[in-house]
Structure 1
Amino acid sequence: MTRTRTLFLCAATTLLAAATLPGTAAAVTPAAPREAQPCVRSPHPVDGPGRQVLETVRRAKHDLDLKSVLVRVTVDGHELVTDAVGESMTGVPAEPDMHFRAGSVVFPYMTVTLLQLVEQGVVGLDDPVGRWLPELPHGDRITLRMLGDATSGIHDYVTDPAFLAQLEAEPFRHWTPEELVGIADPEHLWYEPGTNWSYSHANFVLLGAALEKITGTRLDRLLEQHVTGPLGLDDTRNSFTPDIPTPVLHAFTSERGTYEESTFWNPSWTTAPGAVITTQICDLARSAEAIGTGELLSPSSFRTQLDPGTVGLGGPTDTCPATVCVPDFNTPSTHYGLGLLVANDWVVQNPSFSGYAAIEAYYPGQRVAIAVATTKGCNTPDGNTAEVIAKELSTVLVPDHPLK
């Protein structure tokens, strides 16, 4: 999820304070969570790929005018590099164990949970969502699969100019699911459900609500039971407030015209209540490994997550503009799966909002996981800078098959 705005002059607030792959899935029951290890800087390598990773990160921090960069790379589950460069706040060095907002990293957690429920026979992937959300317009034609793979035809409220204006004017405002879905206007779809692809945050607001109705369990507890608990992601958690667990990686942005702190802007608009997560860089790398290998799914469910029928979808219609329904990754090797992106065989999620950017990326061919989180400086360019760095790192680590 990305909001890009023209940057303006920095203020003195600087001083104040996010195609099928080789089958590597394990059994449905994951291995026991690994013993928790502190998330700290690894010894600096003197040569080899680890040193190249650090050099790339330091160069990118300078070239992109970033305030901080956190990075962790693993190969076959073993640490290659963990580091943090820059500052959280002026005079406060960034550290690997600092927590940051992870946004859409939670989307594959939601779809993994859904696929597990399908495996257990609780639901069918093509069951109409109206069975659990009877008030949803077109709920008899929109399925659970369509919510997870963004083919429902429901508008994205994040592209709505009036919503963006309110978000800019009131960054601390709490948004309810009803308000967000109302802005998305599900009564008037962009296209017939299942016939096209368009990214919409509303899909995951609705999927979260459906998962709660299906299981009778609050979403944050459901995700902990099905994903973060089994994987040992102890530093990845939901909050129903803008709070972030300490230690905090602070964020700054110029998107409202002045360079200002945005750490505690209210993230309630980003997804369903119970799925508004923060994490740290070691958990993010572990998440990349688990999601990228299908660790929590059967091989058949993992194949479905990677391609639920979305390859080739994404095009303008009479009602869905080209700027929305033609994804910028509309190439034969890149598509959206169930809550994740498959890009040149890398399995990816890449949140970016309110001054935070991050990415988790996994390449099964060489079992490489890349996790990067960044915060903005005064003149940081628009876009997901963590993704920019991850792509550069992929050319170092997998030069014959980089992330594109």
Structure 2
Amino acid sequence: MTRPCIRLRRGILVAAAVGALVAPTAGGGAAAPPSAEGDLATRPSPSPSGGEVRALTPEVQQQIDQAVQQVLKEAGVPGVSVGIWTPDGGEYVKSFGVADKDTGQKMTPDLYTRIGSETKTFTVTAVLQLVDEGRIGLDDTIDKYVQGVPNGDKITLRQLAGMRSGLFNYSEDEDFFKALTSDPQRPFTPQQLLDYSFKHPVLFPPGEKFYYCNTNLILLGLVVEKMSGEPLAEYIQDRVLDPVGLKHTLFPTGNEFPSPHAQGYTNQTATGKVENSTDWNPSWGWAAGAMISRLEDLRVWARTVATGQLPDGGRLISPATQKQRLITPPTTIPGAGYGLGIFDVQGWIGHNGSLPGYESLTIYLPSARTTLVLVLNTDIGHDNEEPSTLFGDAITKIISPEHVFNLPAQPASR
């Protein structure tokens, strides 16, 4: 009998475990990276009449309201918060539905949320900072830092960050699923997570295919710890969150969850029935998906991760390294490319996140200097689509019809 697979789910891209890479169609290819990363921040924004991004007029905002409410109803999503920011000062920040189905508490934009695979953008940023410092190289093989990795003498850090290692995804392992769902409060160590992966044979030679795999990020987290001499959570706090000014973003060490937060609802359970997963221990996601944030912090992070620039104009990542990050080869999904812990879908750059009970989407459209962030309190799909993608698609059809976030879900490996 087939049942849902627990995964730090798909992140952005769900690829069949051995699905072949296919090139995007000619009209929907991932955008090429800019010649200089600074271009992302300095490029002039087209006028609203130019068709790039529509001005957030009352009429457009009403259209967004209607689209969000329709998805909320059709997909059965309890609650969602949406933020859109344009360079001319346009702003749309609204919440819909409920944060708690039992009490009827309303969803509000100030709630903390689990951001799942958006954690990958922070972990890879830490890796790229170490690259800038000359302490590691993107083309170093992982066996230089972590022993016992299958094909470790052939898999590079670049391939890990770009989801092209060929390693098995630990969160697709049957024993892992049973361990997590039988005791969602239990903590996992990074080595335990790797053990679930390494008992499986490698899926393909390094670099041959794209395969979205959480194992890659666990390894990169260990590289950061080894080369920085700090726990990953502390390094990200000191070197990423503090410089960017993200005061409401954290890397939890257990199942702590700051208040206020929404209750999360999932069917990624042992029985397949919907359960409240708010207090599940996210250590099973660690460097691939354990972090927590809020809508406003994700607004700031969207531009920072897409450009490498700090809000004060300084650099988080050097222009040369950021340029490497934004090389986004095609994936198994037409119109979507994946770089180093970041994706490009029809020009929108960023990442999404999904883990039991919560989903998020944080993306930035460099050509229009526009940000879209949304957070919701379920990961239960609708018509085989991620709810975050349904919202992203509906909203971008209105605000950026030439750049629609149309990321179709792909079949899981089992």
Normalising to structure 1: TM-score of the pair?
A: 0.81
Partner of 2:336: 334
In the aligned structure 2, how far is the partner of 1:67 from the partner of 1:208? 33
Shift of 1:118: 1.5
Partner of 2:286: 271
Shift of 1:108: 1.6
Q: Is the 8 A contact 2:389 2:405 kept in 1?
A: no
Shift of 1:70: 0.9
Shift of 1:305: 0.7
In the aligned structure 2, how far is the partner of 1:251 from the partner of 1:49? 30
Q: Is the 8 A contact 1:65 1:377 kept in 2?
A: no
Extract structure 1 runs of 4+ deviating beyond 6 A: none
Matched residues, number = 355
**Structure 1 residue identity aligned to 2:162:** D
Deviations 1:117-141 (A, max 9, x none): 2222222111122222134343222
Partner of 1:360: 362
**Structure 1 residue identity aligned to 2:296:** C
**Structure 2 residue identity aligned to 1:214:** M
Partner of 1:21: 33
Deviations 1:212-267 (A, max 9, x none): 10111221121123322121111110111111111111112234333321101121
**Which shows bigger deviation, 240-249 or 373-382?**
373-382
Change (3 A) 1:169 1:79: farther
Shift of 1:199: 1.1
The correspondence of residues 100-139 of structure 1 with structure 2, limited to 5 A, is 100-139=113-152
The correspondence of residues 250-265 of structure 1 with structure 2, limited to 5 A, is 250-256=263-269, 257-265=272-280
- Aligned match for 1:286, one of 289, 294, 300: 300
In the aligned structure 2, how far is the partner of 1:378 from the partner of 1:142? 34
Shift of 1:385: 0.7
Partner of 1:80: 91
Change (3 A) 1:375 1:187: closer
Q: Is the 8 A contact 1:252 1:377 kept in 2?
A: yes
In the aligned structure 1, how far is the partner of 2:187 from the partner of 2:130? 31
For the aligned residues, what is the CA RMSD?
Answer: 2.6
Secondary structure, aligned partner of 1:371 = strand
Partner of 1:323: none
Q: Is the 8 A contact 1:133 1:210 kept in 2?
A: yes
Deviations 1:21-66 (A, max 9, x none): 3457349xx9xxxxxxxxxxxxxx8714333323322222122221
Match status 1:200 vs 2:207: no
**Which shows bigger deviation, 134-143 or 112-121?**
134-143
In the aligned structure 2, how far is the partner of 1:224 from the partner of 1:269? 19
The correspondence of residues 5-404 of structure 1 with structure 2, limited to 5 A, is 19-22=31-34, 25-26=37-38, 47-76=58-87, 78=89, 80-89=91-100, 90-185=103-198, 188-256=201-269, 257-272=272-287, 276-295=290-309, 296-307=316-327, 311-312=329-330, 327=332, 329=333, 331=334, 333-376=335-378, 383-404=385-406
Secondary structure, aligned partner of 2:300 = helix
Shift of 1:182: 0.7
Change (3 A) 1:402 1:187: closer
Deviations 1:164-196 (A, max 9, x none): 233333222222211110110177321222222
Change (3 A) 1:132 1:388: same
**Which shows bigger deviation, 263-272 or 234-243?**
263-272
Q: Is the 8 A contact 2:351 2:361 kept in 1?
A: yes
Q: Is the 8 A contact 1:22 1:365 kept in 2?
A: no
Change (3 A) 1:289 1:51: farther
**Structure 1 residue identity aligned to 2:9:** T
Q: Is the 8 A contact 2:218 2:287 kept in 1?
A: yes
Q: Is the 8 A contact 2:356 2:379 kept in 1?
A: no
Secondary structure, aligned partner of 1:230 = helix
**Structure 2 residue identity aligned to 1:199:** Y
**Structure 2 residue identity aligned to 1:198:** Y
Q: Which runs of 5+ in 2 are unaligned?
A: 1-7, 12-30, 42-55, 310-315, 407-414
In the aligned structure 2, how far is the partner of 1:266 from the partner of 1:124? 33
Q: Which runs of 5+ in 1 are unaligned?
A: 5-18, 31-44, 315-326
**Structure 1 residue identity aligned to 2:246:** L
In the aligned structure 2, how far is the partner of 1:281 from the partner of 1:148? 25
Q: Is the 8 A contact 2:97 2:107 kept in 1?
A: yes
Partner of 1:34: none
**Structure 2 residue identity aligned to 1:386:** S
**Which shows bigger deviation, 135-144 or 125-134?**
135-144
In the aligned structure 2, how far is the partner of 1:114 from the partner of 1:200? 17
Q: Is the 8 A contact 1:2 1:383 kept in 2?
A: no
**Structure 1 residue identity aligned to 2:286:** T
In the aligned structure 2, how far is the partner of 1:81 from the partner of 1:348? 19
In the aligned structure 2, how far is the partner of 1:215 from the partner of 1:187? 30
In the aligned structure 2, how far is the partner of 1:23 from the partner of 1:55? 39
Q: Is the 8 A contact 1:66 1:375 kept in 2?
A: yes
Secondary structure, aligned partner of 1:237 = coil
In the aligned structure 2, how far is the partner of 1:211 from the partner of 1:269? 18
Change (3 A) 1:138 1:77: farther
Partner of 2:411: none
Deviations 1:281-302 (A, max 9, x none): 1112221121122323233222
**Structure 1 residue identity aligned to 2:347:** D
**Structure 1 residue identity aligned to 2:292:** T
